[in-house]
């Protein structure tokens, strides 16, 4: 049994009651009993999305849901404004290409958030933008993009607003209806704190109108099939779902309902602040710009003279805490602390304490206790 | 907690030790520890496929794997010989269409197996058949197609041999290398007796050659990505997999290794024989032709004057045994008993006993005990 503390941006630690839910006997996925489970789970999912729209669960990763968003709405040659400021922004662009769309890239420097004015500029200049994709929380850089501001701009245009909230939903403000989001996608294993393997999507009426006019380019992710059988009473999924993972989703969403979404977001915000204050007190530099720093993952520049292997290796081997490295060109240059899901002050304190010890062990000049004190101060100030 | 006995053709009952495996803490899916789990699981999967090829696990249903087979090998206008004798044969044809292929349908009467000579005839008559799809065990009709004989024919042609063994692998003979299968797909929740949500695929060198010449039509199911990262040391999956379900797959495959594949197939064969003998003793007629009757699911004609709701409803509500109904035009005309996975004589006897009681309760003329006796005789004869 592995007791390493996961402080990575997903998968996150899953509560025992959620793990336990998976031990229940498998039931027929076409039974009334499973229909009840799916009904409750879908409803809670829509509550977390803060939408009146129906939600659908897909057995697959968040990437499957990202693909479902585009594969069901793009026709050959459709132009898509892809806002790209990290690895997952790039992924939306790659999926656009896979599904024969033409990406119009709005490149954002990694570590920065998108400037909403740039979005308006492109929508004014470019014709026939069918959809705009944005990653709310860019897991690769620790940046939270201003999806509320971008949503306001999109109200003036016909383009579908497609938002990836894989690593933000349940840990940061996401108001699908309030922000005018047409397609919102998320994953089970991040702030929702369920095991990986389930993705969730929700489509607005405008999005369904486009779907209905679009030829099928995918079978497994064909949302028309999900809608047809998912909107029936009792609801089903078109293909055999991961029954045990749906049990886990149901339980994880019940946990969220008990905590309350607002309180949960507040808890994440505080964990993020505490983490930033802790690492800054240790003399480390944050990678993401201050005003767009993520609620759920903090990216930190690797201190000079220390390798990723030394820092994260020591954290893992000696202190049993798993951090994430940088992705793509950030590999070795940043490391990331995930603070999403069931994260409390305890895990943040332990992580910063271990980081102090790791840094000192690697010969860096840190005052033991200073990082932890900054974390504690953050929590005391509330 | 639901204690209904699942006698449906998947999902099947999952052993407590496999359910328990899912309670383990989630680990980082990009860690050495998870790499070890994936290595062992993939290796066991290849053993069950009886292939020297690498196996890959996909988080999704068997349908996702069926789509992976075609989406990675078809280019626009490619002609595919789809052998269609049931719902899942149809599905391969629909997926062919989704991925811009041109289906050449070999229609087989539902309840019958394909005649291998018909396959040869079409391959002789039709030009440029890029691939042949066949469903080994047609779950919708209870027919096992002669994939060994078809494989022998395909050795004389260039077409890729794509076989769906979703509801047969682990319960019937499948020799991927021995039969010359290029792409074999299966699912976790049938004879492998793991929870639903994981699909497995294996590709021959010839299949990879085609994949390498094919443009990407799918992102989530892009097998080039699965190969690139799956063949690394340690192996990973391109997107976050359902970690808990991989734990379950590992444990379920260990169970299979302990039982021995040959013994497992023998057990399924016997369960199928016993089931057929039991229902025949009750005066019921089998739907599938005798010589192609499935090892894993038995389809039975609905007795005259009895509705599906009455028969399966009584079995479910009164005797807590879940049977499957007919699909598509067989709805109401047949019912199906799944006997796959961890099925022993105990479940077969209970099911046939409950069927006797159900039939008598519905006013049919059955001799209580006659079906059970036929089941017992089958097991005694071994």
CATH number at residue A324: 3.90.1150.10
Within chain B, which residues score under 70 in pLDDT?
Answer: 1
B213 with B296, same domain: the answer is no
Q: Is B22 within 8 Å of A244 when comparing Cβ atoms?
A: yes
> Where do we find the tokens 């989406």?
B71
User: Which chain B residues are within 8 Å of A69, Cβ to Cβ?
Assistant: none
**DSSP-assigned states of every residue in A209-267:** HHHHTS----STT-HHHHHHHHSSSS---SS---HHHHHHHHHHHHHHHHH-HHHHHHH
- What are the beta bridge partners of residue A193? none
Rounded CA-CA distance B190/B168 in Å is 8
Containing H/E element for A154?
helix A147-154
B123 with B246, same domain: the answer is yes
Q: Is A2 within 8 Å of B24 when comparing Cβ atoms?
A: yes
Q: Show the tokens assigned to A60.
A: 């697959």
Rounded CA-CA distance A302/A312 in Å is 10
B85 with B146, same domain: the answer is yes
Q: Are A171 and A191 in contact (CB under 8 A)?
A: yes
Q: Which site among B63, B68, B76, B196 would you substitute to test the A interface, given the most A Cβ atoms closer than 10 Å to its Cβ? A: B196
B210 with B278, same domain: the answer is no
User: Which chain B residues are within 8 Å of A65, Cβ to Cβ?
Assistant: none
B249 with B270, same domain: the answer is no
Cα distance from B173 to chain A (closest Cα, Å)? 24
Cα distance from A308 to chain B (closest Cα, Å)? 15
A242 with A269, same domain: the answer is no
Q: Is A28 within 8 Å of B13 when comparing Cβ atoms?
A: no
Nearest-CB residue to A98 (from B20, B218, B242):
B218
What is the side-by-side strand order in the sheet with B297-301?
A: B297-301, B334-338, B324-325
Nearest-CB residue to B29 (from A11, A63, A239):
A11
B206 with B284, same domain: the answer is no
Q: Show the tokens assigned to A216.
A: 């099928």
Q: Are B85 and B136 in contact (CB under 8 A)?
A: no
Rounded CA-CA distance A228/A42 in Å is 15
Per-position b or e across B337-363, b if 16+ CB within 10 A of its CB: bbbbbbbeeebbbbbbbbbbbbbeeee
Nearest-CB residue to B26 (from A14, A67, A94):
A14
Nearest Cα residue to B249 out of B45, B74, B12, B67: B45
Angle between helices A32-49 and A243-259 (to 10 degrees): 40
Nearest-CB residue to B6 (from A19, A26, A239):
A26
User: Which chain B residues are within 8 Å of A199, Cβ to Cβ?
Assistant: none
Q: What pLDDT score does B1 carry?
A: 60
Rounded CA-CA distance A78/B63 in Å is 28
CATH number for position B160: 3.40.640.10
Cα distance from B4 to chain A (closest Cα, Å)? 8
What residue of A is the nearest CA neighbor of B12? A26
Please give the sequence-ordered ranges of beta strands (E in DSSP) within chain B, or none if there are none: 5-6, 55-59, 79-84, 102-107, 129-135, 137-138, 143-144, 160-164, 183-187, 198-203, 297-301, 321-322, 324-325, 334-338
Rounded CA-CA distance A62/A187 in Å is 5
Count of CB atoms situated within 10 Å of the CB of B107: 14
Point out the domain boundary residue: A198, A224, A258: A258
A227 with A90, same domain: the answer is yes
B247 with B333, same domain: the answer is no
Nearest-CB residue to A197 (from B14, B59, B98):
B59
B236 with B330, same domain: the answer is no
Count of CB atoms situated within 10 Å of the CB of A63: 23
What is the number of domains present in chain B?
Answer: 2
Q: What pLDDT score does B3 carry?
A: 85
Q: What pLDDT score does A3 carry?
A: 84
Q: Are B57 and B253 in contact (CB under 8 A)?
A: no
Q: Is A61 within 8 Å of B241 when comparing Cβ atoms?
A: yes
> Where do we find the tokens 């808890």?
A267
Nearest-CB residue to B219 (from A13, A67, A187):
A67
User: Domain limits at B272?
Assistant: 5-9+261-381
Q: Which site among B3, B5, B197 would you substitute to test the A interface, given the most A Cβ atoms closer than 10 Å to its Cβ? A: B197
Q: Is B27 within 8 Å of A6 when comparing Cβ atoms?
A: yes
- What are the beta bridge partners of residue A324? A336
- ipTM value for the complex: 0.97
Q: What pLDDT score does A2 carry?
A: 75
Q: What pLDDT score does B382 carry?
A: 86
Helices within B62-183 (DSSP H only) = 62-71, 87-98, 116-125, 147-154
Point out the domain boundary residue: B258, B275, B304: B258
Q: Are B43 and B230 in contact (CB under 8 A)?
A: no
Size of interface A-B (CB pairs under 8 A): 199
Point out the domain boundary residue: B243, B258, B273: B258
A191 with A285, same domain: the answer is no
Per-position b or e across A93-127, b if 16+ CB within 10 A of its CB: bbbbebbbbebbebebebbbbbebeebbebbeeee
A177 with A312, same domain: the answer is no
Q: Is A11 within 8 Å of B26 when comparing Cβ atoms?
A: yes
User: Which chain A residues are within 8 Å of B244, Cβ to Cβ?
Assistant: 19, 22, 195-197, 244-245, 248
> Where do we find the tokens 């479902």?
A68
Q: Is A26 within 8 Å of B12 when comparing Cβ atoms?
A: yes
Can you give the pLDDT of all 382 residues of chain A as single tens digits?
678 999 999 999 999 999 999 999 999 999 999 999 999 999 999 999 999 999 999 999 999 999 999 999 999 999 999 999 999 999 999 999 999 999 999 999 999 999 999 999 999 999 899 999 999 999 999 999 999 999 999 999 999 999 999 999 999 999 999 999 999 999 999 999 999 999 999 999 999 999 999 999 999 999 999 999 999 999 999 999 999 999 999 999 999 999 999 999 999 999 999 999 999 999 999 999 999 999 999 999 999 999 999 999 999 999 999 999 999 999 999 999 999 999 999 999 999 999 999 999 999 999 999 999 999 999 999 8
Rounded CA-CA distance A162/A96 in Å is 12
């Amino acid at each position: 049994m592995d007791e390493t503390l996961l402080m990575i941006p997903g998968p996150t630690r899953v509560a025992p009651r959620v793990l336990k839910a998976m031990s229940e006997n498998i039931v027929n996925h076409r039974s009334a009993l499973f229909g009840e489970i799916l009904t409750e789970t879908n409803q809670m999912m829509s509550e977390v999305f803060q939408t009146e729209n129906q939600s659908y669960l897909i057995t697959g990763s968040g990437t499957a849901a990202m693909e479902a968003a585009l594969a069901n709405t793009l026709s050959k040659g459709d132009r898509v404004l892809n806002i790209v400021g990290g690895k997952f922004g790039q992924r939306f662009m790659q999926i656009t290409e896979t599904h024969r769309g033409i990406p119009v890239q709005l490149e954002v420097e990694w570590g920065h958030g998108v400037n909403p004015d740039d979005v308006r500029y492109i929508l004014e200049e470019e014709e026939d933008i069918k959809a705009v994709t944005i990653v709310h929380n860019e897991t690769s850089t620790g940046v939270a993009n201003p999806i509320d501001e971008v949503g306001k701009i999109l109200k003036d245009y016909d383009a579908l607003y497609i938002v990836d909230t894989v690593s933000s939903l349940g840990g940061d403000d996401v108001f699908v209806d309030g922000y005018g989001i047409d397609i919102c996608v998320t994953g089970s294993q991040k702030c929702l704190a369920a095991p990986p393997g389930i993705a969730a999507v929700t489509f607005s009426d405008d999005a369904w109108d486009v779907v209905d006019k679009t030829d099928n380019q995918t079978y497994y992710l064909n949302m028309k099939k999900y809608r047809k059988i998912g909107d029936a009473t009792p609801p089903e999924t078109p293909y055999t779902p991961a029954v045990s993972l749906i049990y886990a989703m149901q339980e994880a969403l019940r946990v969220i309902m008990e905590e309350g979404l607002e309180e949960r977001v507040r808890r994440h915000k505080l964990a993020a602040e505490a983490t930033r204050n802790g690492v800054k007190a240790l003399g480390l530099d944050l990678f993401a710009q201050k005003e767009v720093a993520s609620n759920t993952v903090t990216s930190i520049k690797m201190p000079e003279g220390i390798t990723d292997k030394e820092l994260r290796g020591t954290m893992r081997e000696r202190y049993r805490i798993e951090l994430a490295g940088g992705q793509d060109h950030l590999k070795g240059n940043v490391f990331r602390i995930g603070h999403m899901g069931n994260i409390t002050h305890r895990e943040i304190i332990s992580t910063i304490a271990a980081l102090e010890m790791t840094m000192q062990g690697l010969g860096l000049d840190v005052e033991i206790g200073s990082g932890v004190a900054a974390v504690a101060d953050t929590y005391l100030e509330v």
